[in-house]
């Protein structure tokens, strides 16, 4: 089976999760998130799911096992996926795609969104326990964290760049174009 494997990269609250959710609902895509592995570990050791805790777990895993440990896990999940379309949320660094780019049909998709729009989306959705109360200054500090610093480079070198500053319907049209 020829799979379409779409890895989404973008700064915080750029629409990666929305893209994966849409593709799953509309096209039956199987979805994987780098953060799922991290959330599992944080939950297991009874820590709150804050951005800082997720970033710390990621750093510990990568520093103590290998920089590509999460990429290896996600790539194995993708290989086992039965769906024709597989979407991956949260590609942040080149080591994240080290094993994914070896899978036929893999494309890196970057999402560009201005900072004010991303901040509004982040505080509205409240995905992490500390998101809804986050100040603009804290949001900017999060954007400078180790987990975020390579994303801009990934955005510029992606196979496809999508502008997600507009309405949700326009975003969905761009995602539909990816599939066709």
Residues in the chain, pLDDT under 50: none
Distance CA 61, CA 163 (A): 32
Q: From residue 158, how far is each of 82, 154, 155 by CA, in Å? A: 25, 6, 5
CA distance 87 to 6: 5
| Euclidean distance between CA atoms 143 and 129, whole angstroms | 17
* CATH number (domain holding residue 81): 3.40.50.300
- The tokens of 71 are what? 């990429």
Q: Based on the structure, what is the number of domains in the chain? A: 1
Instruction: Supply the range of the domain harboring residue 87.
Output: 4-179
Q: What global pTM score does this model have?
A: 0.87
The string of pLDDT tens digits covering residues 114-144 is: 999 999 999 988 777 777 888 899 888 887 7
Q: Are 118 and 16 in contact (CB under 8 A)?
A: no
Model pLDDT, residue 1: 59
- A 10 A CB-CB count for 68 gives 18
The answer to whether the beta carbons of residues 104 and 64 sit under 8 Å apart is no
Name the H helices within the chain.
Answer: 16-27, 34-44, 51-64, 69-80, 94-97, 115-125, 136-143, 151-156, 168-179
């Amino acid at each position: 089976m020829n799979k379409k494997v779409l890895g989404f990269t973008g700064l915080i609250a750029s629409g990666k999760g929305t893209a994966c959710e849409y593709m799953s609902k509309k096209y039956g895509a199987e979805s994987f998130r780098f953060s799922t592995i991290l959330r599992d570990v944080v939950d297991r050791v009874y820590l709150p799911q804050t951005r800082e805790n997720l970033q710390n777990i990621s750093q510990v895993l990568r520093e103590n096992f290998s920089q590509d440990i999460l990429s290896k896990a996600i790539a194995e999940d993708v290989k086992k996926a039965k769906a024709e379309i597989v979407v991956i949320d949260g590609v942040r660094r080149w080591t994240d795609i080290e094993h994914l780019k070896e899978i036929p049909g893999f494309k890196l998709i970057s999402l560009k969104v201005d900072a004010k729009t991303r901040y509004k989306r982040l505080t509205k959705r409240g995905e992490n326990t500390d998101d809804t109360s986050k100040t603009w200054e804290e949001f900017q500090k999060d954007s400078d964290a180790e987990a975020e610093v390579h994303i801009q480079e990934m955005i510029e070198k992606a196979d496809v760049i999508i502008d997600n500053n507009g309405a949700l319907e326009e975003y969905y049209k761009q995602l539909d174009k990816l599939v066709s």
